[in-house]
Amino acid sequence: MFPKDFLFGASMSGFQVEMGYGKSDVDPNTDWFVWVREPENLINGVVSGHLPEYGAGYWYNFPTIHKLAADFGMNVLRTNVEWSRIFPKPTFDVPVKVVQDESGIKSVQIDEKTLRSLDELSNKEAVEHYREIFSDMRKRGLKVFLNLTHFTLPIWLHDPIAVHKRQETEKLGWATERSIVEFAKFAAYVVWKFDDLIDMYSTMNEPNIVSQMGYVMSVSGFPPARFEPEMFFKSLLNQIVAHARAYDVMKALTKKPIGLIYSASVYESIDKDEELEQSATNFMNYMFLDALTSGMLLFQTREDLAGRLDFLGINYYTRTVIQKIAPMQLGVATIDWMICPGYGHSCQPGGFSKDGRPVSDFGWETYPEGLLKLLRAMNDRYGLTMYVTENGVADGRDWLRPYHLVGHMYAVERAIEEGVKVKGYLHWSIIDNFEWAKGYHMRFGLAETDYQAKSYSPRPSMYIFREIVKDSSTEKFKYYLRSPYEIWRTKT
């Protein structure tokens, strides 16, 4: 059984859902807005050719989506404010005191004068409109889980085309330390303006994905698509420090819990090599989070980073199957494993993995027992309150989603019964939206989006979600675990 105070809901991202009605809701001031229309990316098929301004239309149609959430039993929604909407122009000239030594930025000090200076630069209409959105959530009994940044950066902070083409620019995004200071300003301002409407905060969504896709997996379609291990580590480190500095300035203004949302996977080797699995897990799952819990960061200990998480948001979609290779150097790290095709994220779309498990339209293997393994491991290592902040499946026909949904919610239920501190499950997503480089091809919604009509029709799986919430249990759907797709096999 799920406890009475458990949070059932869905997650969204501003850039992915907000636009859709025309010029009045378009935000052209992000790196992603520029990136998806760059001719090189279009010609080479790096991006879909779809444009976010023809999207789901949440900016004006938010009451309809909030009502849909409440009608189907949700009590929380996660979304983010778009940094570029709040500050379409640079905030560099707003002075703050920065304490820094040879190891990095130790503190950013923001006072009332700073906040008022930021207020003069802000887009007041956007601020007030976000307040309307959050107020409507609360009016419908939905808790407001506010994330600060979800992949996008203001174009004044990150010029992805210049970085990709190796042109001279100061707009390096997370690969430059000034992003730390500007993010702290943004974080403090958001709390100052919205705290009376917010129940909980996360600073970032999947910072590890931003670095990996941007600077290592350079054919992924994520900006700036530049293979540069040094910039990978710089951007990762700067996001760690940016979270810590944002946490500090936010805590001075609010008593609400502040966490971070991390994309995690279960690493399993093709030949059951436990040492190899641990090596991959340490690098991919733990390195970032260790810094914000114990202060351990690569080859140093930084007390100014430790204890900066009130909770941990876990985004889980599938496992990662790996095999041993000859060691290779990736910046300061040595990697001795590679991903095996045919499993996890590396499958042929719409069929079955090499293990005979059903695969989504995205080519992602359904592996719900991995979520249980992951929650156990994160609980053992960190002991933090956790929320499953994203879990879902690209499935335009809704043929797999019912089984996928039950399997993963069952994993959460089992984790809770074992004493793991999981306090919420937020599905990705409530409606279909703009899936980054894949555009509108991938359908993750519990409800189907009609992009022309800006309407949202619940799929059959959404009714299953509502029944699980009503019963506070997956019990009546447990037969889905083995029929017909055998999605839950291993003894865990």
Supply the residues annotated as catalytic.
Answer: 206, 390
Contact 392, 375 (CB under 8 A): no
Dihedrals φ, ψ of 267, to 5°? -100, 115
H helices present in 324-459, as ranges: 369-382, 401-417
Reading the block at residue 177, the tokens are 């330390």
Reduced to 3 states (helix: H, G, I; strand: E, B; else coil), residue 91 is coil
In 3D space, the residue among 190, 203, 208, 209 whose CA is nearest the CA of residue 259 turns out to be: 203
Dihedrals φ, ψ of 30, to 5°? -115, 160
Contact 247, 300 (CB under 8 A): no
249-283 burial, b at 16+ Cβ within 10 Å, e below that, comes to bbeebbebebbbbbbbbbbbbeeebeebbebbbeb
Tokens 């156990």 belong to which residue? 376
Burial class (CB in 10 A: 0-12, 13-18, 19+), 354: middle
Contact 429, 12 (CB under 8 A): yes
Question: Which residues share a beta bridge with 10?
Answer: 77, 427
Contact 381, 292 (CB under 8 A): no
d(CA 412, CA 417): 9
Give the relative orientation of helices 58-71 and 124-139 as an angle to the nearest 10 degrees.
10
Burial class (CB in 10 A: 0-12, 13-18, 19+), 170: exposed
Reading the block at residue 236, the tokens are 């990762």
> Cβ atoms within 10 A of the Cβ of 487, count?
23
Reading the block at residue 212, the tokens are 């990996």
Reading the block at residue 357, the tokens are 């498990």
How far, in whole angstroms, is CA 76 from its chain's centroid? 16
HSE of 14, CA atoms in CB hemisphere, 13 A: 30
Reduced to 3 states (helix: H, G, I; strand: E, B; else coil), residue 479 is helix
d(CA 127, CA 197): 13
Dihedrals φ, ψ of 101, to 5°? -135, -165
- Angle at the Cα of 29 (from 17 to 188), degrees rounded to 5? 85
